[in-house]
Amino acid sequence: MSAEPLVLGALEAEDPRWDEYVHRHPEGTFFHQLCWRRVIRRTYGSPDHYLFARRGAQIVGVLPLFERGAKPFSRALVSVPVGVHGGVLADDDEAAALLRAGAKQIALREKLGYVEYKSERPRFADLYTKSDLYFVFRQELYGDRDKQLSVVPRKARAVIRTAEKANLRADFNRTDLEAFYDLYALSLRNLGTPMFPKELFVASLEEVPDADILTVRQCGRIIGCVLNYYYQGMMLPFFAGALPEARGVGINHYLYWAMLEQGYDRGYRVFDFGRSKADTGAFKFKKLFGMEPTPLEYQYDLALADEPPNVNPTNPKFAQAIDNWKRLPVPLTKVLGPLLSRRIP
């Protein structure tokens, strides 16, 4: 009896088999799930192509893709926008190759520059791979305060203890969206980075059942927030903001320490500190928590582009724009930032 033929398809209506496949695949991530498709659709309205490979009725591979970008940047097919992870999930090389071919065909048809696979490990040996730009940080949750604190280097422990003495209180909720967005926008302005639209966070709290916000208060005043996602026992603090004047009481350390401390009791076993660019302030801050970086090996399949993209703040050609952005009033960046973020692949 011959094996079932391999067939490429595109998901139209939502099908529970997609998430079932993502959840059982060892490299499946939060951003491969259909809830992220709904979030990005609501935020940007970007055309998407959720490709799957099947043998008979059995799904053997998936690839979530969105068309992204506009002038002055290149247009591209991205797996997936905003998220840290993406790329092909497949049972075997044949299914992976079929999904890749389908993505390339879409990119050429739509006259896009390239296909970006946000993979942690490279899937295709012949594609250009960036392995020295982004790094992810993870730490096991122990369920024991002293043990958890012991893996944090001494200087960071001292800052955490200072914060605890400053009457800081943390709670998880789904209601402090306005305060979160104000702090997030302020922090991004100070970094010289355009912020994402508010709808991204509204959609996150409405489309992702367990998404929440960690809010830190001092004497009742909100001084820091983190918006979090969760996936199969893993905490993913993904967007954050804090008052600059709260640095003196260790707000940035306390935000993440509160998650580390409370995460185990809430049923989580791994803390995913997200990605950072090599040797940036965020990269160095995460190392202060005793976490070792793991490279994210993003891959690029060129369609109409002549070379892989270099759209990141470490590119010297963006230095002046970043400096100018830091000088803008925050209310103006709340208008311009979302418009600009739509153009970046």
- Residues 6 or more apart whose Cβ sits within 8 Å of residue 89: 21, 22, 25, 27, 28, 32, 61, 62, 63
- Tracing tokens 């609501």 back to the chain, one arrives at 42
Torsion, Cα of 291, 213, 236, 322 (10° steps): -70
Domain ranges of the chain: 6-131+297-309, 135-295
Mark residue 143 as left, alpha or beta (left: phi above 0; alpha: psi -120 to 50; beta: remaining).
left
| Tens-place pLDDT, residues 149-161 | 888 888 889 999 9
Q: Determine how many CB atoms are found less than 10 A away from the CB of residue 41.
A: 15
Res. 327: pLDDT tops 90: yes
Residue 313 pLDDT class (50, 70, 90 cuts): low
- Of the candidates 73, 69, 74, 80, the one whose C-alpha atom is nearest the C-alpha of residue 116 is 80
| CATH 3.20.20.140 corresponds to the domain 6-131+297-309 | no
Residue 314 pLDDT class (50, 70, 90 cuts): low
The radius of gyration of the chain from alpha carbons, rounded to an integer in Å, stands at: 21
Handedness of CA 332, 337, 338, 339 (dihedral sign): positive
Are residues 249 and 218 in contact, defined by beta-carbon separation less than 8 angstroms?
yes
Res. 40: pLDDT tops 80: yes
Mark residue 185 as left, alpha or beta (left: phi above 0; alpha: psi -120 to 50; beta: remaining).
alpha
CA 232 to chain centre: 16
Handedness of CA 120, 35, 94, 306 (dihedral sign): negative
Task: Select the highest-mean-pLDDT range: 99-108, 139-148, 292-301.
Answer: 99-108
Rounded CA-CA distance 80/68 in Å is 9
Q: Mean pLDDT across the chain, nearest whole number?
A: 92
Q: How many residues does the chain have?
A: 345
CA angle 185, 161, 218 (to 5 degrees): 45
- What pLDDT score was predicted for residue 2? 46
Are residues 123 and 85 in contact, defined by beta-carbon separation less than 8 angstroms?
no
Rounded CA-CA distance 307/205 in Å is 37
pTM above 0.85, yes or no: yes
Res. 73: pLDDT tops 80: no
Work out the average pLDDT over 273-297.
86
| Tens-place pLDDT, residues 210-222 | 999 999 999 999 9
Q: Determine how many CB atoms are found less than 10 A away from the CB of residue 207.
A: 17
Work out the average pLDDT over 329-339.
95
- Of the candidates 23, 32, 14, the one whose C-alpha atom is nearest the C-alpha of residue 117 is 32
**Would you state the structure tokens that stand for residue 341, as one six-digit string?**
């973020």
Question: What is the CATH topology of the domain spanning 135-295?
Answer: Aminopeptidase (3.40.630)
Q: Which residue has the higher pLDDT, 210 or 345?
A: 210
Q: Determine how many CB atoms are found less than 10 A away from the CB of residue 318.
A: 15
> Does this chain's domain 6-131+297-309 share its CATH topology with 135-295?
yes
CA 345 to chain centre: 14
Rounded CA-CA distance 157/288 in Å is 9
- Residues 6 or more apart whose Cβ sits within 8 Å of residue 203: 38, 39, 42, 43
12-26, 68-82, 175-189 — which is least confidently predicted?
A: 68-82
Percent of the chain past pLDDT 70, that is, above it, reads 98
Q: Determine how many CB atoms are found less than 10 A away from the CB of residue 186.
A: 18
What is the DSSP pairing of strand 76-79 with strand 298-302? unpaired
Residue 272, phi then psi, degrees to nearest 5: -100, 110
